[in-house]
Amino acid sequence: MLRNLPKKTMLTISPDPVFATDQTRTLLPRLWAFMEAEVLPLEAAMLAGDFKHFEQTQVAALRQKVKAAGLWAPHLPASLGGLGLSLCEFGQVSELLGRSPLGHLAFNCQAPDIGNMELLEKYASPALRARYLHPLVEGHIRSCFSMTEPEFAGSNPVQMATTAQRVGENYVINGHKWFTSSADGAAFAVVMAQTDPDHPQPHARASMIIVPTDTPGFELVRNIPIMGEAGSGHLSHAEVRYHQCTVPAENLVGQPGEGFKLAQERLGPGRIHHCMRWIGIAERALHLACAYAGRRELGPGKLLAHQQAVQHWIAESRAGINAARTLVLHTAHGIDQRGSHALRTEISVIKFLVANMLQQVLDRAIQIHGALGVTDDTLLSFWFRHERAARIYDGPDEVHKYVVAREELKKYGVKL
């Protein structure tokens, strides 16, 4: 049971004075009031039992309340039943929802579904949109994204052994994937596979293909244990094998050979989503740290908050969160204006900077809590397990730092 979750979190809503819009000024307080009343009270139950069962029961009921409140799928255009927010506006929403492990799932904007929705909205045929996008938007099904392979470095996605051979009117897929997140219970996978392995341009060899998970030859091998926790349902990272997995050629998303192009389209806004969610987690972790330091007694009249080291940790965390928020929203605004291709360097900057900020804030919060911080009596250990990978997925820190350094050194005539 969560021991340090007061009835009111004392977290406040302060729309960013630079990036706030009329819509976010109205929307964010409504969202947070809903989160406090309906989402945060379920966190203890989420940690206590089997998540897949929890997802099918309590989360399903919670999602109906979100729909009834008119807050469903805030990332989507109004034509699809969403709130029609810009990326910068949704970034502010994503931070708010990120304050709870259940926030994004409750509002149907969780990864990897959010990226798959955006992908299918832009590039899927009308038939694929009707069959897969619309049920996903309605929350009737979940999806997964199947790209990384255990035999190859995920930081070099051009290296890939999974193939999709065109045979008549079908593709026959064979391969081995892992970290196919949320595959447990998903209705379909978006699979990256080589459709033209001999193409002279490596980035034109792969395509994206929709594979229903009930297709013969789709094998969910296991939910991979993450720091001792295998997880289930949405909170799972699966190993998957494709054995002569045959799907109609019409399940191709976009054009043959566009897989890497579509992946970059998907990942640009996706990194904004992740970064703002991480800022929300950091904000909640800082709140937990301050609340605990303000009540934990070290002796008569002496609180943990009176320790200078603790005060420094709190100050450093606040500075890191505020700086990260401004930088990410600035990048999101730029993407809204110019597209993600124009801000590739800025996207790399926020990816490694915010991921590292999150690790630092979580670590300080755990240290302030002492032994309590590593138990599941707080949310901190849950986030520490699940979010350490923030510095790895969607490109490890080192790759993004290389991108930034390369662009800086170009100014001095240095080629990397």
Question: In the predicted model, what is the mean pLDDT of residues 237-265?
Answer: 96
- Long-range contact pairs involving 74-82 (C-beta distance under 8 Å, separation at least 24): 74/27, 74/107, 74/109, 75/109, 75/114, 75/117, 75/118, 75/273, 76/117, 76/121, 76/137, 77/121, 80/121, 80/137, 81/137, 81/138, 82/137
Quick one: CA dihedral 133, 138, 144, 147, positive or negative? Answer: positive
CB–CB of 244/217 below 8 Å?
yes
Provide the mean pLDDT of the chain. 94
Question: In the predicted model, what is the mean pLDDT of residues 317-344?
Answer: 95
The pLDDT value given to residue 3: 58
CA atoms of 260 and 188, how far apart (whole Å): 20
DSSP β-bridge partners for residue 176: 241
Supply angle C-alpha 35, 333, 19, rounded to 5: 55
* pTM of the model as a whole: 0.95
The pLDDT value given to residue 2: 63
pLDDT band, residue 403 (cuts 50/70/90): very high
pLDDT band, residue 6 (cuts 50/70/90): very low
Residue-wise DSSP of 329-362 = HHHHHHHHHH-GGGGHHHHHHHHHHHHHHHHHHH
The pLDDT value given to residue 1: 53
Q: What are phi and psi of 196, to 5 degrees?
A: -145, 75
| The token pair that represents 387 in the structure block | 């979010």
For residue 106, give the amino acid letter.
A
Domains and CATH numbers, the chain: 143-253 (2.40.110.10), 260-410 (1.20.140.10)
Three-class SS state of 56: helix
pLDDT band, residue 197 (cuts 50/70/90): very high
Question: In the predicted model, what is the mean pLDDT of residues 403-415?
Answer: 96
Go through 283-318 and write b for each residue having 16 or more CB atoms within 10 A of its CB, e for each that does not.
bbbbbbbbbbbeebeeeeeeebbeeeebeebbeebe
pLDDT value at 65 more than 80: yes
The pLDDT value given to residue 118: 93
Q: Quote the percentage of the chain above a pLDDT of 90.
A: 88
CB–CB of 355/399 below 8 Å?
no
pLDDT digits (tens, 9 = 90+) for 136-179: 999 999 999 999 999 998 778 788 999 999 999 999 999 999 99
Question: In the predicted model, what is the mean pLDDT of residues 78-100?
Answer: 96
pLDDT value at 265 more than 90: no
Question: In the predicted model, what is the mean pLDDT of residues 339-345?
Answer: 90
